[in-house]
Amino acid sequence: MPGTSQAHSMASDDPFDEILKPPPNESPEAFALRVQKEEQARQISLAIDANIKAERQARKKKRIVRLLLLGQSESGKSTTLRQFQRLYTPTAFREERVLWRAIIQLNIVRSIRIILEALEHPSSPQISPHVSPKSHYRNLSDNARKHRRASNANPIASTSTDNSMYDEYFMNGSNGHHNGHISPESDPDSDSLEMYGQSTSLLNNLASLEALKMRLLPLRHIEALLVAKLVPPNEDEATQLPGQSQNNGFSHNSTSGNAYRNQEVFVRPGTTWKGALARARVHYPSAATSISREDSDQSGNVRPLSAGNLGSETADEPQEVLNSCRMDMMQLWADSGVRSLLHRRKIRLEEYPGFFLNDLERVTSLKYMPTDDDVLKARLKTVGVAEYRFEMEVSTGRETGTDWRIVDVGGSRKTWVPFFDDVDAIIFLAPISAFDQVLTEDRSVNRLEDSVLLWKSVCSNKLLANVDLVLFLNKCDILEAKLKSGIKLSRYVRTYGDRPNDMENVSKYLRGKFSAIHREYSPNPRKFYAFCTSVTDTATTAGIIASVRDMVIRQHLKQSKLM
Ligand SMILES: Nc1nc2c(ncn2[C@@H]2O[C@H](COP(=O)(O)OP(=O)(O)OP(=O)(O)O)[C@@H](O)[C@H]2O)c(=O)[nH]1
Ligand SMILES: [Mg+2]
């Protein structure tokens, strides 16, 4: 019979042969049925093969868009990235929220330390990095300033060494003086605790202040615990104080408030994260993976968004300590004398990154779990360059299935250039609220000036000539509060003149300046996209990010010659 002969003709060393071969006395009907079934199975197998092939081809064709986030330290790059994640990979974002609790704990301890150190040194010079120093900026020679500007503001563009630009756009360009940076005058030398000693204030009762400080001592212990958990053991830089390595005239000894304030905990993409993540035993879907280019030889380097090896503890010692110190912390922050000392020293803690003192009751509760807003407000400095990859989880129409690569860079601008290749768009963040502040890393440089020079070098960079630039004039909420509190833009930006010191006029003015630089310095004409943003605000940022997403996709299609 045909079936029998076919079966017998097959190689006899196949172990399935004996089992699968047709029965020797197979009837013609059974034979026909068997052949029919075999054909059906073959068709199914072919269909499966075709499916796999189609999927593979679809994956190949899948859109990969690359977005680069640029801007000075503390401009809001990582926060913008977190907004993308919150919107497009909400599951991963939610699962990571627990990890941010440790960062928030550290942020709280840091704020309290800043207050305590301001009390320790009531008569030291005004040291807030958030206010231009009284005289040092003006005392720098032009050459020294130019040198600092060149090394700080233009490291990414070899063609951009012209530092007169800030003056041109923001100063009375005619006289060439740098007197646009008029620092608010204060008289710190006359500070003493007694002069803040309002009758009800802690500062009026030094014994109770000392007792309160003693009760807050455990905060130092948990700070050390948190730093040890977050920072890899062989990482010196994280605990080194900038003032120690560079004598810039502002360095204090390590016990001073300034030194402490300059010290920031950061995370660096690297292998330690992998082990840390394993210990945390938190599941991260592939959507939230990050690959460090700096460590590209160490492939498969998967970690959560810069949050570290935290969150797995059932008994959370830092949270317990914070909980037990809550009344003292609240008393300290609410104290009228303390507030007036901080005010006089121009330490505006509310504007500092990672400020949670107004939420102490909630965030120190034992069951505290960070909200979306808390995660966006938390401060964790990025060091190095990390590429975060995710596929949009939620359906967003034609963008479904797009693979996003968002590159978030940290302070070291030397590492930016390799990422200018193959970019679809750049979001440049300029924190315009910082017009009266100086860089933490170089207190001779005004933050707005730094942003302007950086914007110019990005606009003029030839590698980016065909890349769409999106400008976020960020921290508009802080800007508005500053203007309302009476801080005048014209004291720092002379060319602002006597225009009204309100949000509408100030933002319009700054937008115009940034736009002019874009127009003048772009190698080829291109569109100018600019938004006034407060990227910590979820509601307003969602709309802006949707616009950016559409723009980036359009740009990507254009570049792929699909449009
Ligand atoms: N109030 C307010 N805070 C903001 C805004 N944007 C960012 N922040 C806060 O500012 C801090 C710094 O933001 P990051 O996103 O960490 O800044 P970054 O540019 O990534 O800084 P580096 O990692 O040092 O380069 C964080 O605590 C944010 O919550 C804003 O628009 N308004
Ligand atoms: Mg960052």
| Residue 453: burial class (beta carbons within 10 Å; 0-12, 13-18, 19+) | buried
Ligand 1 binding pocket includes 379 (Cβ within 6 Å): yes
4 pLDDT above the threshold of 50: no
Query: Would you list the domain boundaries of the chain?
Result: 2-61, 64-191+217-324+345-559
Least confidently predicted of 338-347, 378-387, 439-448: 378-387
Q: What is the mean pLDDT of residues 423-449?
A: 92
Q: Which residue did the predictor score with more confidence, 323 or 247?
A: 323
What's residue 23's pLDDT?
Answer: 76
Write out the CATH class of domain 64-191+217-324+345-559. alpha beta
Q: pLDDT tier at 403 (50, 70, 90 boundaries)?
A: confident
Neighbours of 86 (CB within 10 A): 21
Q: What is the mean pLDDT of residues 427-445?
A: 92
- Residue 60 marked as a ligand binder: no
Q: Which residue did the predictor score with more confidence, 452 or 305?
A: 452
Neighbours of 351 (CB within 10 A): 19
Q: Which residue did the predictor score with more confidence, 244 or 206?
A: 206
For 296-410, list the strands marked E by DSSP: 381-382, 385-391, 403-409
Q: What is the mean pLDDT of residues 50-71?
A: 78
Ligand 1 binding pocket includes 483 (Cβ within 6 Å): no
Query: From ligand 2's centre to the CA of 76, what distance in Å?
Result: 7
310 pLDDT above the threshold of 50: no
| Residue 66: burial class (beta carbons within 10 Å; 0-12, 13-18, 19+) | buried
| Residue 429: burial class (beta carbons within 10 Å; 0-12, 13-18, 19+) | buried
Q: What is the mean pLDDT of residues 193-219?
A: 82
What's residue 417's pLDDT?
Answer: 76
Query: From ligand 2's centre to the CA of 78, what distance in Å?
Result: 4
DSSP string, 437-495: -B-SS-TTSBHHHHHHHHHHHHHH-GGGTTSEEEEEEE-HHHHHHHHHTT--GGGT-GG
What is the pTM for the complete model shown?
0.73
Backbone φ and ψ of 87, nearest 5°: -80, -40
Q: What is the mean pLDDT of residues 213-231?
A: 89
Q: What is the mean pLDDT of residues 479-489?
A: 96
Residue nearest to atom 28 of ligand 1 (CA): 377
Ligand 1 atom closest to the Cα of residue 376 is: 29
Instruction: Please tell me which of 166-170, 279-283, 424-428 the model is most confident about, judged by mean pLDDT.
Output: 424-428
What's residue 60's pLDDT?
Answer: 54
Neighbours of 78 (CB within 10 A): 24
What's residue 65's pLDDT?
Answer: 84
pLDDT tens per residue across span 20-48? 677 778 888 988 998 999 899 999 989 98
Q: What ligand has the least distance to the C-alpha of 265?
A: 1
Q: Which residue did the predictor score with more confidence, 198 or 313?
A: 198
Ligand 1 atom closest to the Cα of residue 381 is: 23
Ligand 1 binding pocket includes 410 (Cβ within 6 Å): yes
What's residue 537's pLDDT?
Answer: 97
Ligand 1 atom closest to the Cα of residue 534 is: 31
Instruction: Name the β-bridge partners of 433.
Output: none
Average pLDDT, the chain: 74
Ligand 1 binding pocket includes 433 (Cβ within 6 Å): no
What's residue 186's pLDDT?
Answer: 42
Q: Which residue did the predictor score with more confidence, 252 or 195?
A: 195
Exposure of 162 in the CB half-sphere (CA atoms within 13 A): 12
Ligand 1 binding pocket includes 74 (Cβ within 6 Å): yes
pLDDT tens per residue across span 332-378? 999 999 999 999 998 999 999 999 999 999 999 999 999 999 999 99
What's residue 286's pLDDT?
Answer: 34
pLDDT tens per residue across span 496-532? 999 999 999 999 999 999 999 999 999 999 989 999 9
Query: From ligand 1's centre to the CA of 177, what distance in Å?
Result: 32
Q: What is the mean pLDDT of residues 49-60?
A: 73
Q: pLDDT tier at 315 (50, 70, 90 boundaries)?
A: low
Query: From ligand 1's centre to the CA of 73, what distance in Å?
Result: 8
Q: pLDDT tier at 302 (50, 70, 90 boundaries)?
A: very low
